[in-house]
Amino acid sequence: MTIQWFPGHMAKARREVSEKLKFVDIVFELVDARLPISSRNPMLDQLLQQKPRLILINKADLADPQQTKQWVSYFKRQGYFALAINAQDNQGIKGIVPAAKEVLKEKIARDKARGLKPRAIRAMVIGIPNVGKSTLMNRLVGKKIAQTGNKPGVTKGQQWLRFGNEVELLDTPGILWPKFEDPEIGKRLALTGAIKDQLIHLDDIALYGLDFFARYYPDKVAARYNLTAEEAALLAPELLMKITQKRGYKDNYDRGAELVVFDIRQGKLGRYTLDRLEELGEADDAVD
């Protein structure tokens, strides 16, 4: 499955990000803890270049906690300061300002040595659609200012928000990239809801999700759908048929596929991480 999607508002957002970078000190890059690599936009490295960056691994409550620890260590080894958070429940939010100050400590020291009056840190919040930017903004500011929604593309424009006296935040729309060269990335993003369902085939995504869970979390599939060990070990197409029939949908496999996809998205099969460090050959030494 190849997904190509670059709406006009995303092209505009990319230009706006490039133009606004000169006004900020640091970029808060949000990624989804369930897919910390696949939810990073590869265009950002070219756009941001040497701009200081804090990677916020959001939705940590939905991800495999051991995998999240490994990804935090991985990003640190890549030279980034990373912090696992759950913006929805305000977990880890208090650590963002200290982390930003740590990333900017050399700049802060230079400004102080030059006799410049301290000012609020200016930060840009950026990430792909549906990664939780608006929820984070609302948590930081302490009131519902940024529009939120459990679907990609809710945030359309840009706005500055004040976070106490220490940080000024610039929100940006979510930006995807024109084409996913790796079809696995497209499937992972689709499974977590980062791509509009109108652009994908839910049955393909359901089969991908079932295959993944059968490989890494087989007990969770069996528990959720009341399957025997033998049934849970079926290949994904047969497994989808079995789940559809057990739920009383008869031969309505589209309905069965929709059930599986939304169960996975809503965490009804438990916590999971789609991006695996072992695929990068890094898992053995990933935890400091």
Amino acid 69 reads K
How many Å apart are CA 9 and CA 26, to the nearest integer?
24
The average pLDDT across 102-115 equals 94
Residue 59 marked in a binding site: yes
Which has the higher per-residue pLDDT, 171 or 129?
129
Residue 260 marked in a binding site: no
Instruction: Judge residue 141's burial from the number of C-beta atoms within 10 Å of its C-beta, 0-12 exposed, 13-18 middle, 19 or more buried.
Output: middle
Residue 242 marked in a binding site: no
At residue 139, does pLDDT exceed 80? Answer: yes
pLDDT tens-digit readout, 17-55:
778 888 899 999 999 999 999 999 887 887 888 899 999
Give the least confident one: 35-44, 103-112, 247-256, 257-266. Answer: 35-44
Residue 130 marked in a binding site: yes
Residue 132 marked in a binding site: yes
Percent of residues, the chain, with pLDDT higher than 70:
84
Residue 135 marked in a binding site: yes
At residue 174, does pLDDT exceed 50? Answer: yes
Name the architecture of domain 201-275: Orthogonal Bundle (1.10)
Domain boundaries, the chain: 8-171, 201-275
What is the model's pLDDT at position 18? 79
Topology agreement, domain 8-171 and domain 201-275? no
Percent of residues, the chain, with pLDDT higher than 90:
54
Residue 246 marked in a binding site: no
Confidence class for position 147, pLDDT limits 50, 70, 90: very low
Contact 82, 55 (CB under 8 A): yes
Residue with tokens 């499974």, as numbered in its chain:
191
pLDDT tens-digit readout, 58-94:
999 999 999 999 999 999 999 999 999 999 998 999 9
Residue 134 marked in a binding site: yes
Residue 103 marked in a binding site: no
Q: Which residues pair with 126 in a beta bridge?
A: 29
At residue 255, does pLDDT exceed 50? Answer: yes
What is the model's pLDDT at position 207? 96
At residue 128, does pLDDT exceed 90? Answer: no
Match domain 8-171 to its CATH number in 3.40.50.300, 3.40.1500.10, 3.40.50.150, 3.90.180.10: 3.40.50.300
Confidence class for position 274, pLDDT limits 50, 70, 90: very high
Report how far Cα 278 is from the mean position of its chain's Cα atoms: 19
Start-end of H helices in the chain: 8-20, 43-48, 65-77, 96-103, 105-113, 133-141, 183-192, 202-216, 218-225, 229-232, 236-246, 253-265
Helix, strand, coil: what percent of the chain each, to 5? 50, 15, 40
> What DSSP assignment string belongs to 188-256?
HHHHHT-S-GGGS-HHHHHHHHHHHHHHH-HHHHHHHHT--HHHHTS-HHHHHHHHHHHTT-TT-HHHH
Dihedral of the alpha carbons of 110, 114, 119, 122, in degrees to the nearest 10: -40
pTM: 0.85
Residue 186 marked in a binding site: no
